[in-house]
Amino acid sequence: MKDALQLREAVYAVFLSEDTERLYPHDAFQCVHKVAKQARARQVLSETDAGYRWLPLLTEPADLAGLFAEAAAELIMRRYDRRLIRECKGDNCGWLFLDTSKSGRRIWCSEATCGTHERVKRFRKSESKRLAGLTVEHNAAQLEKCIRGALNSCEPTTC
């Protein structure tokens, strides 16, 4: 379990470095490399519908970590043939994603979650500013109306 957590942290560190366009952190990269290499050594040459293929051997819990490391290694090998992996810019999210959007400017892991939260947050902020402005303007307009009314009638008025 400890090894699986270490691998998870290493994979996260490796791909997080792409968000800032840095080189992969050495220790994290070595961890992914080591586990992927061990998994490759356990592959079995097997006949499939698509012909003979190297397939993973899944007999121990550690083999699942090997699959994860191999998938990470595949992404690492395609680094220069794909867009960089990005970190979601949503509050308290931290998810990593591969931007497959047309524009390549995606900033949230999901439009439905972090994207919506961010837009709601922005809307509430702008709305509270607008309402604060309206209150001051509204009070000023109301005061002006009372003063004009008082001056025109020359009688005491209530606002």
Query: What are the structure tokens assigned to 13, written together?
Result: 């560190």
Greatest Cα pair distance in the chain: 102
Give yes or no for residue 95 binding Zn ion (CB under 5 A): yes
From 7, 18, 109, 118, residue interacting with Zn ion (rule: CB under 5 A): 109
Nearer to Zn ion, 111 or 127 (CB): 111
Q: Which long-range contacts (CB under 8 A, 24 or more apart) does 77-83 make?
A: 79/18
Query: How many residues of this chain interact with Zn ion, rule: CB under 5 A?
Result: 6
- Asked if 88 interacts with Zn ion (CB under 5 A), we say yes
Nearest distance, CB of residue 14 and Zn ion, angstroms: 19
Q: List, in sequence order, the alpha helices (H) in 20-115.
A: 26-41, 61-77
| Smallest distance from Zn ion to CB 143, Å | 46
Closest approach of Zn ion to the CB of residue 115, in Å: 8
Residue choice 93, 96, 98, 150 for contact with Zn ion (CB under 5 A): 93
| 89 interacts with Zn ion by CB under 5 A | no
| Stretch of residues binding Zn ion (CB under 5 A), selected from 68-76, 82-90, 120-128, 141-149 | 82-90
Q: Which is nearer to Zn ion, 11 or 88 (CB)?
A: 88
Residues 6+ apart with CB under 8 A from 105: 99
Q: How many CB atoms lie within 10 A of CB 115?
A: 17
Binding part of the chain for Zn ion, among 41-49, 61-69, 91-99, 128-136 by CB under 5 A, reads 91-99
Query: In whole angstroms, what is the distance from residue 6 CA to residue 12 CA?
Result: 10
Residue 113 Cβ vs Zn ion, minimum distance, rounded to whole Å: 6
For residue 153, which phi and psi values (nearest 5 degrees)? Answer: -90, -20
- How far apart are the C-alpha atoms of 146 and 136, rounded to whole Å? 15
Per the structure block, which two tokens stand in for 127? 């709305």
**What is the contact surface with Zn ion in residues (CB under 5 A)?**
88, 90, 93, 95, 109, 114
